[in-house]
Amino acid sequence: MFAKLLKKITYKWHIKLISLALAAILWIYVDNLKAKERFLSVALEMRNMPADYIVSNDVPKTVKLVLKGKENGLALVDGERLSAYIDIGGTVRNRGRHIVRVDKESLPRGVTVKEISPAFVETEIEAVQIKKARVVPVIYNEPPFGYQLENVEVIPERVNIEGPISLVHDIDSVYTEDIDVSGLTETTIKDVAINLENDKITLVDESTVTIKAIVKEEYVVRRISEVPIVAINLKGGLLARSSITTASVLVKLPKRLEKDLDLDVVTAVVECGDVETVGRYHLPVLMETKMEGASFINYEPRSVEVTVVKQEVSGINL
């Protein structure tokens, strides 16, 4: 019986084998028709980079992948965990051409990489140099009217930068991000970032520096003439007279308030509160102002001779 079964199996065996192969090919073809594709961009890593060396040329930060597999398998692909890489191989050769590979361990079963773009990456390897560079603050705009940016201090004044020797060698200064001083009316301290124009160059220690923008108010000196001299606190029934009736004064005031300076904000007074009777008195002239931040540099006269007489009405201008 076994012989009969074997004879049936092996009867025209080559035709049966061909049929089996065709069935397998057809199954694979049909299965492939069910396969889907998924497109991903993943980060490109540099592996086995020699210590104290760096890739100095521009290489892609990401590569594009075309993944192939069944829909349920493609849905399980975690783009954050999937990575592509080139293997520098620990060599310090100046130039190299490397195959882009993918960590297939992160791929679900049945999912394959159909395409990688770019498939190759060319690199230039250079030694790393660390160097101190002066920090230059970048200032734009100006403080409001009446205020002046006197100085800008940077702490620290120098920072360590790191990068390919061909780039770092010629760099003496680095620049801060833009610092807008348009709203500053007083000295201000703030931390600002350093703006490195080439992403191949990095900061070794500090990522920011402290900026001290020293802002001071501007002052002007102006002379006001013909300021009326006024007798104050004169007792009732007395009248004060003088041959000098006006004063001239030098006023120091904030520049922002200059437009408001006039005779109404400055007063020259003679204090007569101690005068009890008629007679002649040599009394000091005192200057007063209602303007905030204003002060008197000099004025004339410093004193006047006042003649006090009897009068029905008190408190009359000199």
Condensed to tens digits (0 to 9), the pLDDT of residues 136-189 reads 999 999 999 999 999 999 999 999 999 999 889 989 999 999 999 999 999 999
Contact by Cβ (8 Å): 305, 243: yes
Which residues, including other chains, have CB under 8 Å from residue 198's CB and lie 6 or more apart? 163, 167
Tell me where in the chain the CATH 2.170.120.40 domain(s) lie.
133-217
Burial 109-145 (b: 16+ CB within 10 A, else e): eebebeebeeeebebbbbebbebebebebeeeeebee
Give the model confidence (pLDDT) of 104-137 as tens digits.
888 888 888 889 999 999 988 889 999 999 999 9
**CATH classification for the domain delimited by 133-217, as one of 2.40.37.10, 2.30.30.90, 2.170.120.40, 3.20.19.10:** 2.170.120.40
Q: How confident is the model at residue 216 (pLDDT cuts 50, 70, 90)?
A: very high
Listing DSSP states for 267-313 in one string gives EEEEE-TT--SSEEEEEEEEEEE-STT-EEEEEE-SEEEEEEEE-SS
As a CATH number, domain 32-118 is 2.170.120.30
Give the model confidence (pLDDT) of 282-314 as tens digits.
999 999 998 888 999 999 999 999 999 987 544
Fold of 219-310: RNA Polymerase Alpha Subunit; Chain A, domain 2 (2.170.120)
* Best CA proximity match to 250, nearest among 211, 318, 194, 297: 297
Q: Look at the pTM and tell me if it is higher than 0.85.
A: no
Tell me where in the chain the CATH 2.170.120.30 domain(s) lie.
32-118, 219-310
Average pLDDT over residues 230-259: 90
254 phi/psi in degrees, rounded to 5: -60, 140
